[in-house]
Structure 1
Amino acid sequence: MLESLSHHDIYEAALDDELFNTLPNRLAREIDVPSTIFIWLHPGDYREISAGTQAEANLDYNSFEGHDPWLAHGTDDKIGMGAFRLSNYVTPQELEKSEMYSEFIKKNRLDRYWCLGLMQSTRDGRVATAFHKGKTAGDFTDTELGLINRHVEDLGRLHVIRRELHRASIRKIAAADRSLLDDAPIFELDQQGRLLQMNGKAERLFRLHPLLAIDSKRTLRVRGAGKNAFHFAAAKATGARKSEARAMDLAQTRATDGRIIPKLRLNFLPRTDGGRKVLVIATTECADGMQNFFDSPQEKIMLTLRERDVLHGFIRGLRRDQLGHDLNLAMPTIDLHSANLRRKLGARTIAEAVAIALKHGLV
């Protein structure tokens, strides 16, 4: 064993392309094998080699879709089980009959035969990690299996965060002077939740988001149901014994100035430079991205006449059946108008919709 990776070595690769591309090689060296590959399995089964130790061969993987026993066993049922030996599912005789082995591995004299697999899940699809040994090296030992399983959670969180950033077209988060770039809301906290630094988008997010606030001691406060989840994630990411990357979601809501804030994912990335810190990066699945939210002016909330009638009824304290009777509307129609009210007002409940409507003078 030539090298031992710490969990911070893995997390730091989330934000650094060079570190990410060299990570498979470092994992291979840790258990002294010739080949390790990260394969991102996109929806629709498109396979992308994102990093690997034998790059000259990686582009050929899609050519063996359906022919390769390794790829065929990269299935969802193996997510969460940790590292597994391919020999538990495929015999050496079956492997040697495969097109990939006979027409690719042997032909190109690649040192791949025994395989250790790892399947993990992200919001954008699965990630497979494959470790390979040569034919004469023998199958993977329990010790090697244990060494890789030490990294399973960290590798899973690495891929989740890295794919989140790719979706948001974020390649770097800091400039050469270590100031935070402004591609997405990014801020840094210490283990007590104090704000250490933030970029311009984070500052605007704090100003607009009704659930995020900074007190007089520059400690970030989270209101509502997400309070415990936020502080749990931040505490895990700044843990004294072992820090862990985390993520949490903030539901779509309406900003303090009336515009709609899309559903956000807060990605917590532990930092090692100068103490226990966590970098928090906000991303979104919204097709228009985060920039559309920041660029949009305050939105006017346009309600139809019937939506206003239903809203006034709820403000008066009427039940759904009473509203239906008064407005001569069926229950499904009342429910449809109620859903439209919640959507347009960025509310999760009718009570919250009523509060927002009163705040913005819609009644």
Structure 2
Amino acid sequence: MTRTMTLPAPDEVALSPETTATACLDVDLEARILSCDAMARRFLELHPRYCRRDEAERLHIDPAAAFDAALWIASRQVAPDSTVLLPEVPASNGPVQINVLPFQPERVRIVVFWHNPDATFVSEQIPSLTARERAVLELAAAGLRRDRIGHQLNISLPTVDLHCRNLRRKLSALTMSEAVAVAARRNILSI
């Protein structure tokens, strides 16, 4: 079950898919940033209020109580859960949605969907995929299981797993379903 909380936002703006970017960060239970992708770095550069720097970089989202609760819920040992934080009204050039997802013990994945008018930066962040990775991705998007992908491409199951791991890493996804969704959103898929 996913919990949804509404965050306060200052002003309304019309958003289009062409200018909405996705940033992925991994944080610990104290919101220290452990890793992040290029879009997350760009988001933090453009929005310094979301990053507190003391002895380490920390992600800061208001209201802090809602964000702390979401971190705790996602990092529970038993029955961790996702939380979607939504602004009451999307802010111009700010987060549209923040997903707080269970990831690993003591580690939470934050996915920030934000309004980024800098479309050239978004297009530059499309990862380069090998021909084999692209083939695996397209077959996964078509709904084939790992064993069927291996059979179609005449490669072993461990090789399919290797390509899937690389795709998940390059697309900042936890699962292949999420990788397919990210690739579709970024217009990487040809199907």
TM-score, length basis structure 1: 0.26
TM-score, length basis structure 2: 0.46
Structure ranking higher in strand proportion: 2
Higher relative contact order (CA 8 A, sep 6+): 2
